[in-house]
Structure 1
């Protein structure tokens, strides 16, 4: 990782200064498969993580690694069929999210939990005004009049710093820019002051300047409310800036996880190292950027052993045959690799 990005990571002293908190959300061994997939191949496979109140967990990985499927399952938005949860549990304040009825999921969603999606133009209804769409969630979960819901919607547009909020309240999504639409999505998600926010690539469709503004806005609102956040992203610069903890996903499995400082200072899975090597530096470029050869394998071609084997520069016969466990290397820092720590077992080839 380049020095500029590393400089933005939170210091170890900041992380160690506060006592460890009880998780607001705990996911244990979550496994999801799609109908028609080969036997034993899950698109999300025994995924476990937790996030505490006020903290940010970043889920990192390429497209197709299972990050969004994981998030949708936690929100009760995974279409069944073709997707099916075949193992594990998820507890929100001790309550099993995966065991809720559809009505209970609807009561939870948009109220105590909320989600921001990648592309606001496909998430917002083009037939209704921005104000009506924000008000819908408020009226669904709060015992307020329509006038009070409208005032709350207006307040949220102000909080996300949309100019001329009274006018925007009456606007339709197509009348707004991409950055403004994403701010509307944030206003909708936070209108009922959720305890947990899941943000799925919230800046993907935006230009770099607007991306920075949206991330800054989300961080400010998180600090004001104390909510927990799961941020799904492939942007390691954003991860370095906002994460408390990081979980790196590859082909449905978490291959490395730990405090953000440990992941950036001492990455121990070849996939994590490859991701960091592909990040451009702000300084003078020394040679070509690193690349990770190949692509995430489809379900029908999933390797028997470590799923990263076909793309890994260190892989051998054992990697191809035996799936490695997620091993703790230091307090809170775990990696799914037979040869971690790499500087000991693969120092001659690293």
Structure 2
């Protein structure tokens, strides 16, 4: 559920005179990714651009199949090639193009300057090794420390993520832990080398609601303590309202809207974003049925030629089916990929 009070508080905190923007920690430019066997000219990630400032959080939002995880895996150098291929674009992290690094250079960055938390920790943790071994291995890979020092650091990280009886848990195997504990281990492992960028790919999907809130709170606290930047991939708009500084809404491989969290929630400008907002339950008395978006994300072989959202859009016209809309500036820093944007200028056409 969307926390409107949190949004208002964030607006007040940020109501200060603008300052010159420093160079972002991460800048992604015109990224396109294709899988072997896909129809000619159809990219699963298509012309995606965004940036992330130091210490800030970018939330990437969208349904399953929209390209969110593929984008994240490409930044980490974890996409198998083939079948995945980066056909265009660049990603600059701390001034270096990630896609131009050798595999050895990528391995030096991954797990050190950048780190990732995955959806299901049981598939990411090795069942044959103890938790302590797995955390210590990553520490020794990137730091010149002894095994004893690495284990001490691993113990410190388990304490930071508030795992009960951390000395005992160091010697435990993943199957001996609950889902929430395993996810805390993944967070400890990701942050053990003090990364500058954390990518969290729906880190609470496999957990119950109570544990989800605890994990999100934990990640926020650790981010505040370390000052790291974060990309959070999620479909939960309530979480987005709580933690995001910037939001990128993805649909069928394209960014269809982007801007500050305040701009996206207060003035959504793409029909897909509006549909997502309408499907979120509120704390107040329900006035009717929740809105739904008919249909589903199209597979690559059925990707529309024009606007990829056109088959599901209640406002679509003939032009939308044949001509891909450009990403237009609605206001400074707020963009939408729609022929009707800004909606205020086409109110009669869309309402």
Identify the residue that residue 220 of structure 1 maps to in structure 2: 221
Superposition pairs for residues 1-350 of structure 1, below 5 Å?
A: 5-9=3-7, 11-17=10-16, 19=19, 20-347=21-348, 349-350=350-351
The SS at the match of 1:72 is helix
The SS at the match of 1:39 is coil
Aligned-partner Cα distance in 2 for 1:21–1:153 = 34
Aligned-partner Cα distance in 2 for 1:275–1:321 = 24
Aligned-partner Cα distance in 1 for 2:259–2:105 = 32
Aligned-partner Cα distance in 2 for 1:348–1:39 = 34
CA contact (8 A) 1:179 1:206 kept: yes
CA contact (8 A) 2:108 2:142 kept: yes
Report how far residue 8 of structure 1 moved.
Answer: 1.8
Q: CA RMSD in A?
A: 1.1
Aligned-partner Cα distance in 1 for 2:206–2:283 = 22
Aligned-partner Cα distance in 2 for 1:184–1:349 = 48
The SS at the match of 2:198 is strand
Report how far residue 7 of structure 1 moved.
Answer: 2.0
Deviations 1:79-121, CA, capped at 9 Å, x for gaps: 1111000000000011000111111111000000000000000
Report how far residue 16 of structure 1 moved.
Answer: 4.7
Aligned-partner Cα distance in 2 for 1:251–1:172 = 38
Instruction: Give me the TM-score of the superposition, normalised by structure 2.
Output: 0.97
The SS at the match of 2:231 is strand
Aligned-partner Cα distance in 1 for 2:220–2:237 = 16
Aligned-partner Cα distance in 1 for 2:13–2:111 = 31
CA contact (8 A) 2:343 2:350 kept: no
Aligned-partner Cα distance in 1 for 2:27–2:290 = 37
Task: Judge which range, 232-241 or 13-22, deviates more.
Answer: 13-22
In structure 2, stretches of 5+ residues that fail to align are none
The SS at the match of 1:8 is helix
The SS at the match of 2:3 is helix
Report how far residue 145 of structure 1 moved.
Answer: 0.5
Aligned-partner Cα distance in 2 for 1:319–1:7 = 37
Report how far residue 348 of structure 1 moved.
Answer: 5.3
Aligned-partner Cα distance in 1 for 2:338–2:187 = 38
Deviations 1:11-36, CA, capped at 9 Å, x for gaps: 33433537333200000000000001
Instruction: Give me the TM-score of the superposition, normalised by structure 1.
Output: 0.97
Aligned-partner Cα distance in 2 for 1:279–1:289 = 7
CA contact (8 A) 1:6 1:264 kept: no
Aligned-partner Cα distance in 2 for 1:335–1:252 = 14
Aligned-partner Cα distance in 2 for 1:58–1:16 = 21
Aligned-partner Cα distance in 2 for 1:146–1:174 = 24
Aligned-partner Cα distance in 2 for 1:346–1:251 = 26
Deviations 1:317-339, CA, capped at 9 Å, x for gaps: 11111101110110100000000
